[in-house]
A and B are shown apart, each in its own frame.
Chain A
Amino acid sequence: MEPLMSDKPQGRAPAAPEVAFPSPGGGEQVQGSIADLFLAEESALLHFAIGIVGQRAVAEELVQEAFLRLHKVWDQVENPRGWLYRSLRNLALNHLRDRPREDELDTERASADQELPREELGRSEAVGTVRMLLAEMPEEDRTLIQLKYQEELKYQEISRRTGLSVGNVGFRLHHALRQLLDDLRKAGIEGSQG
């Protein structure tokens, strides 16, 4: 409620160092090279892939494959992060399709080996899917979501930073959230545990 003009944005700055690098699943378009994108997303993508296939080694292979594929079309892709998440997900799902049943025992064993309980995997998949959907969202909506959930600002403050009215911030967030809920449901993810 203390509306000191224009020096508030810096007031929140201490959080910035974490955010400075493109944050997992959201953030500004990566301006840099594919190597930068790799460093930024390596961990998040690995978590996502493990969440789907359940095996660390397979996940690593898939992440590597996704990056190699992206590398080939780097110049032609508009939204590399969205592309990466989507194609990693497809690769992972294809992997499950191509190697169904016989691996199932392995999967069980592998996840047991690494002490990754089922719900943990489900959550990794769910979080990864949300990151994918965020990366594919229109820029403005993603910005709003970040201001709201990462910086945890009130609508009032978001309004001040973006120039949208408070009502409009509420409306856009509502619809971005609505869309996300729908998309998650379509992706087979219900609830925070996946």
Chain B
Amino acid sequence: MNTNDTPSGENAPITPELEARVVAWVEGEASEAEASLLAQVAAERPEVAALKRRLEEARLLISRAVRPDGTPLRLSEGRREELMRALSAPAPRAEGPSLAAIRQKQRRERQVLLAAAACLTCGVFLTFLFRSENLSLKDGAKMEARAELLEARQSVSQEKEQVITYKRERLSEEAASPVAVSLPAMPADEAPEAEAPAPGSVAKSARILNTARSLAAAPAFDSGSLGVTARDLPAAAVSLSVAAPKVVSAESSIASFGEVSNPIPHTFGAYRSAPAAADAIGGAVLDKKASGTGGPAPFSAIVPEGGTYAANPTLAGTRLRSDLKDAGSSVNVVTAQFLQEAPPAAESNASKDPFSTFSLHVGDVSFKLAREALARGELPAPSAVRPEEFYNAFDYGDPTPAMAEKVSCRTEQAADPFAQQRNLLRIAMRVPATGRDGAQPLRLTVLVDTSGSMEREDRRVASRRAMEVLVSLLRSSDRITLIGFARTPRLLADQVPGDKAGAVLDTLARTPSEGGTNLEEAIRLAGELAGRQFLASAQNRVVLLTDGVTNLGDAVPAHLSLMVEALRQKGIAFDACGIGGDGIDDQVLEALTRKGSGRYYVVNSPEDADSGFAAQLAGALRPAAENVKVQVRFNPSRVGSYRLVGFDQHRLATEDFRDDAVAAAALAAGENAVALYEVEPLPQGEGELGEVFVRFRDATTGAVVERSWTLPYEPAAPALDRAAPSMQLAGAAALLAEKLQGGPRSESIRLGELAPVLASLRNHYSHAPRVQDLAAMYEQVRRIRRE
């Protein structure tokens, strides 16, 4: 928050980041702490106060605009009848358009033709240039030419951008000029000409424009195979910019129809070609490396100021796209689709459906985020509460198996305090403490958010610590590729050996921050680069470090998940680490890491990076057990119904259990994983409760291991406050989570009655900070909910 060195005055610039926060504040979405911080900023900076004022005024206007007027007005009766009669008759099209309309149409058509001609000329001219240059190119010059091509291409794409900016300016002028007339003092001849849109020519000019665009785009992209010197490209760019105003005139004529037309179709084509360009240029850079000095080059491109780096080509696509978005035509049409999230499951009937199968996907993010929210005095969002991440946030001290044993299992039961005839059943699994000995190398691709919000001191330090931890876990056989991303992704370090990775940290420290967070482009590039350094015998992972909210490009969690899913099918796992708990987009990060062996962490503070995160990351990078699935078969003659608490996003079909092609979670060496059931034992029934199976791939040997244990029937399960401490802990954490999650179950949970359990836990786990946190969270929830 550098409020001191910024220029002041009402028109001083405000960063998009700050602006977004002010908007949230005005909308009443900011927390109390944030609101008072912003109030302070507004008091110090007049431009922020002015922005706030304008936003509040706009708010007021919009609120009025979306509601009916106080006094409804009607046309006079005679006029009204006349109009209604006219409107219900068929349209009087036979009369034909007025003379003025015809003239206007002709003028427009001329403009369109002109634009088309200009573009054609330009395209032909460019192609001609490229071809002739290609003939005269010597082989030796090709290398250099390619490098220059990168720059030149950039300038061409910027040229395109200018076209669009120019279009926008024209649009603004169009919008602005009629206003002048509304002020009596202004001369009359600046008045708008088009009073009624003539939509007939819209489609036509759009089509021509489309052609124009692709013509403009084509030379830039095709030239990759030709090998051009940069000398010519500026010339090409110039001719492009000459053509531009004419293109624009065609376009603005569309715009003057009251923006009736929808520019999506033609811009889409332009955008689509961007990834292809990225490929082509990526290839060029590789060539350059191969034919370069000959020695191993640990860094391919580091300094962003150089302007020539592999990630740059995506620039064209991204900018183009975001500008268009600003221009009012959203390219990524977000269909209002609901997240496909499974609602908390109801009880299952053991005789109808005796099998419960799930991926043993454990983490503690939901617990940590809830802890942060409660510390701020807010209840966590119900959608961000995942019970399994609450009760898996603790170390229960379950026994660690010997190496030969592969996995251990322990079960405990207690009476459910809030449901009749139900027991809580805790099933704890643990894998041996020493996983694989590092024989398997790592191929890491790290995506680091360099958007402006990461500048916050605590986040900067936390993310730096997280990176240091990560780098410290690497060995010489490992490779790390580092990508910084904000508005656009940039390759900062390419396939650096693990023992030299320290330098990567410095590179990152020198990388300036930017506005915006385009996760889509970043994942795309990460996937490409991870694919390039893919090694079948290695752990191939992409790790994302971000503090915030993805806001450019496609940000629909389901769409991003698809990209991650595609990676996973290529054998590349995806982990996400949220930096600073309060701003992270839990929904997106959780969705991205839900499938397969993906891990999700949050690092709230630098200390956090040192303690939990280091161990979690080390475990994730070198898992001891992969594809870990659990199946419980309940005995219908002993169990009436059952319910798995949490794991809503990780359930599997019964037959998936032994289908090793169905991916599941991974467990780190020594990691504790717990599943909690609510079971209805039948006292008149017979036999055991059932059997639990676990199946996974042993990362040391690659062999698939399957084990099973009996779940005993306990006729006299103790009350929760008299059960074993580990049972109490799991039960309390799960119940608190279900209370926070809402849903049908939460109504029956009376927090007050859990007080003895929490008191006993606080006592028993006096040296476990996490458990003390849980007790504090419990108190806070009771305070807030007044229970």
Contacts and interface: CB of A to CB of B under 8 A. Distances in A.
Interface stretch (B22-30, B155-163, B210-218): B22-30
Nearest to A64: B83
A104 B258 contact: no
Contact of A86 (B179, B197, B198): B197
A156 interface: yes
A125 B261 CA distance: 25
A97 B258 contact: no
Interface in A1-39: 1-6, 18, 23-26, 33-35, 38
B195 interface: yes
Interface in A68-120: 68-69, 71-79, 82-83, 86-87, 89-91, 93-94, 96-98, 100-101, 104
A88 to B, nearest CB: 10
Interface string A151-174: 000111001111111111011011
Given A35-B88, A76-B200, A140 B330 contact: yes
A187 B550 contact: no
Interface in B538-576: 548-551, 555-558
A111 B615 CA distance: 75
B234 interface: no
Interface stretch (B68-76, B301-309, B442-450): B68-76
A23 B196 contact: no
B382 A138 contact: no
A24 B69 contact: yes
Contact of A82 (B260, B334, B379): B260
Given A90-B192, A167-B550, A181-B54, A64 B181 contact: no
B30 to A, nearest CB: 10
B184 interface: yes
Contacts of A150: 63, 66-67
A135 B492 CA distance: 44
A174 B86 contact: no
B64 interface: yes
Contacts of A175: 325-326
Contacts of B88: 33, 35
B195 A91 contact: yes
B92 interface: yes
Given A77-B260, A167-B588, A181-B54, A3 B743 contact: yes
Given A83-B260, A90-B178, A166-B381, A149 B63 contact: yes
B67 A23 contact: yes
B742 A3 contact: yes
B54 A131 contact: no
Given A67-B83, A181-B58, A93 B178 contact: yes
B62 A23 contact: no
A20 B257 CA distance: 29
Nearest to B262: A78
B705 interface: no
Contact of A163 (B19, B91, B381, B556): B556
Contacts of A146: 66
B329 interface: yes
Given A34-B87, A184-B58, A154 B29 contact: yes
A172 B41 CA distance: 24
A167 B57 contact: no
Contacts of A1: 379, 382, 742
A169 B69 CA distance: 28
Interface in B594-623: none
A43 B337 contact: no
B261 A68 contact: no
Given A3-B383, A156-B381, A89 B178 contact: yes
B749 interface: no
Interface string B332-343: 011011110001
A51 B257 CA distance: 22
Interface residues of B, number: 94
Nearest to B340: A163
B58 A83 contact: no
A83 B184 contact: no
B457 to A, nearest CB: 22
A44 B325 CA distance: 29
Contact of B261 (A43, A78, A93, A156): A78
Contacts of A186: 172, 175-176, 179
B440 to A, nearest CB: 35
A22 to B, nearest CB: 11
A162 B557 CA distance: 12
Given A46-B74, A141-B330, A148-B27, A171 B551 contact: yes
A58 B179 CA distance: 19
Contacts of B379: 1
B61 interface: yes
Contacts of B198: 73
A35 B194 CA distance: 25
Contacts of B175: 183, 186-187
B123 to A, nearest CB: 30
B92 to A, nearest CB: 6
Contacts of A191: 54, 57
A188 B557 CA distance: 39
B505 interface: no
B766 interface: no
Interface string B239-271: 000000000000000000111111000000000
A72 B336 contact: no
A97 B181 contact: yes
Contact of B86 (A47, A71, A148, A160): A71
B260 A130 contact: no
Contact of B73 (A42, A76, A163): A42
A152 to B, nearest CB: 9
A82 B259 CA distance: 8
B579 to A, nearest CB: 14
Given A2-B742, A100-B188, A184-B58, A87 B65 contact: no
Given A93-B191, A136-B259, A87 B61 contact: no
A178 B326 CA distance: 9
Contacts of A34: 87
A46 B339 CA distance: 42
A35 B85 CA distance: 9
Contacts of B199: 73, 76-78
A138 B75 CA distance: 30
Nearest to A56: B73
Contacts of B19: 174, 178
Contacts of B74: 42-43, 46
Contacts of B188: 97-98, 100
Contact of B55 (A38, A64, A77, A181): A181
B703 interface: no
A187 B181 contact: no
Contacts of A38: 83-84, 87
A138 B334 CA distance: 11
A127 B61 contact: yes
B20 A165 contact: no
A24 B67 contact: yes
A3 B746 CA distance: 10
B27 A127 contact: no
B59 interface: yes
Contact of A60 (B27, B55, B79, B194): B79
5 contacts: A24-B65, A140-B334, A159-B587, A167-B550, A178-B19
Given A25-B66, A35-B87, A44-B68, 16 more contacts: A24-B68, A33-B88, A43-B73, A43-B74, A50-B73, A71-B91, A79-B260, A83-B260, A89-B178, A94-B192, A134-B66, A141-B330, A149-B63, A163-B339, A166-B585, A170-B23
**Top 9 nearest A-B pairs by Cβ distance?**
A167-B549, A86-B258, A188-B179, A3-B382, A3-B742, A97-B191, A130-B65, A171-B551, A46-B73
